[in-house]
C-alpha cells in the first residue's frame, strides 16, 4: 500500500517539474489535470477496503480536476487566443532547477518534522511541500494569467495532500468543499481572463500595472 502511495506521489512530484519546464499552455493545463487525477485517486489507496463515500468523493475529484477545470481553462485559453507562454520572469531552466531544489528541500524538511510513524515513511508531506513550492514558483514566475492559475491549482493540490494526512479523522466532505470553491474560482477566473483579453488585447499580467493610480 505504501509502495503504491509513494509511487503515485512520486509521479505527482515529477509532474510538478514537468509543469515548471513547459512553455506551452495546453501542456501545462494537461499536466495539472493529470496531477489532479492522480491525487484524486489517492484516498482510494489510503483507505483499506471499499467505502461508498470515499469512492464517490474520489470519483468527483477526478472528474472535476481532470475534466471540468481543464475544460474551463481551455475555453478561457481559446477565447483569449493564446497558446504559448512568453519568456517568464524566472526563466524555464532556472525555475526547473529551483523546483528540483525545492523538491530535495521538501524531502529534507519533512524528515525534520515530527510526523506520525505511519506518515513518516510515506511521501505525502514532502509531496505537499514540493507542490506548494512549485505552485508558488509558477504563480510568481509566469507572466500569463492562465499559467498563474495553473500555479494556483498546483498549490491547491499540495494543500489537498496535506489534507490527506487527516483522512481518518476529518470527513472528506471538507475536501469536497474546497474542491467546489476551486471550481467556482476557476469559472470566475475564466470570465475575468476574457475581460482582461478584451481590455488589454493580451493576457500579460504585467499590463495590469496600468490600473494603479
Partner 1 sequence: MIAILPFALRLACWLLLAPLLPGIINRVKAWVAGRRGPPVLQLYYDLARLWQKSVVLSVLASPAFVAGPAVAWVALVAAAMLVPLGPAAGFPSFQGDVLLLVYLLALARFCIAWAALETGSAFEGMGAAREVSYAVLTEAALMTAILSLSVQTGSVTLNTMLAHSSGPGALLLAAGLFSVLLAENCRVPFDDPNTHLELTMIHEAMVLDHSGPPLAVVLHGAALKLLLFAVLLSEAVLPMGRLAPLAATAVLAAAVALVTVGVGLVESLLARFAFRRVPLLLTTAFLFCLFALLLAWKGGAP
Residues near partner 1, by CB under 8 A = 17, 21, 92-93, 96-97, 100, 104
Cα Rg of the chain, angstroms = 18
168-171 contacts, C-beta under 8 A, 24 or more apart: 171/53
Residue (92 or 162) nearer to partner 1, CB: 92
Residue (100 or 178) nearer to partner 1, CB: 100
Residue (60 or 97) nearer to partner 1, CB: 97
Least Cβ distance, residue 94 to partner 1 (angstroms): 9
For residue 42, what are the contacts with CB-CB under 8 A and spacing of at least 6? 5, 8, 9, 58, 161, 164
**DSSP 3-state helix, strand, coil percentages of the chain (rounded to 5)?**
80, 0, 20
Cell of 182: 476551486
Least Cβ distance, residue 69 to partner 1 (angstroms): 26
Least Cβ distance, residue 50 to partner 1 (angstroms): 31
Least Cβ distance, residue 117 to partner 1 (angstroms): 18
Residue (93 or 191) nearer to partner 1, CB: 93
d(CA 208, CA 199): 10
Residue (18 or 128) nearer to partner 1, CB: 18
Nearest partner of 134 among 3, 22, 4, judged by Cα: 22
Q: How many CB atoms lie within 10 A of CB 57?
A: 20
Instruction: Report which secondary-structure segment, H or E, holds 154.
Output: helix 145-164
Least Cβ distance, residue 163 to partner 1 (angstroms): 26
Least Cβ distance, residue 184 to partner 1 (angstroms): 35
* Cβ atoms of residues 137 and 95 within 8 Å: yes
Residue (20 or 57) nearer to partner 1, CB: 20
Amino acid at each position: 500500500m505504501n509502495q503504491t502511495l509513494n509511487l503515485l506521489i512520486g509521479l505527482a512530484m515529477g509532474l510538478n517539474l514537468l509543469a515548471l519546464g513547459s512553455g506551452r499552455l495546453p501542456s501545462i493545463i494537461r499536466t495539472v489535470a493529470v496531477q489532479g487525477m492522480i491525487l484524486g485517486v489517492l484516498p482510494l489507496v489510503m483507505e483499506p477496503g471499499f467505502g461508498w463515500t470515499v469512492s464517490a468523493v474520489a470519483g468527483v475529484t477526478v472528474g472535476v480536476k481532470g475534466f471540468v477545470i481543464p475544460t474551463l481553462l481551455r475555453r478561457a485559453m481559446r477565447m483569449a487566443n493564446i497558446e504559448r507562454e512568453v519568456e517568464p520572469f524566472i526563466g524555464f531552466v532556472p525555475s526547473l532547477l529551483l523546483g528540483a531544489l525545492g523538491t530535495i528541500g521538501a524531502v529534507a524538511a519533512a524528515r525534520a518534522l515530527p510526523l506520525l510513524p505511519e506518515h513518516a515513511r510515506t511521501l505525502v508531506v514532502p509531496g505537499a511541500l514540493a507542490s506548494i513550492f512549485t505552485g508558488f514558483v509558477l504563480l510568481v514566475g509566469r507572466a500569463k494569467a492562465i499559467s498563474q492559475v495553473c500555479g494556483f491549482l498546483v498549490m491547491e493540490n499540495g494543500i489537498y495532500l496535506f489534507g490527506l494526512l487527516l483522512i481518518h479523522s476529518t470527513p472528506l466532505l471538507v475536501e469536497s468543499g474546497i474542491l467546489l470553491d476551486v471550481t467556482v474560482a476557476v469559472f470566475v477566473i475564466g470570465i475575468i481572463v476574457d475581460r482582461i483579453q478584451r481590455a488589454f488585447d493580451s493576457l500579460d499580467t504585467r499590463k495590469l500595472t496600468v490600473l494603479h493610480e
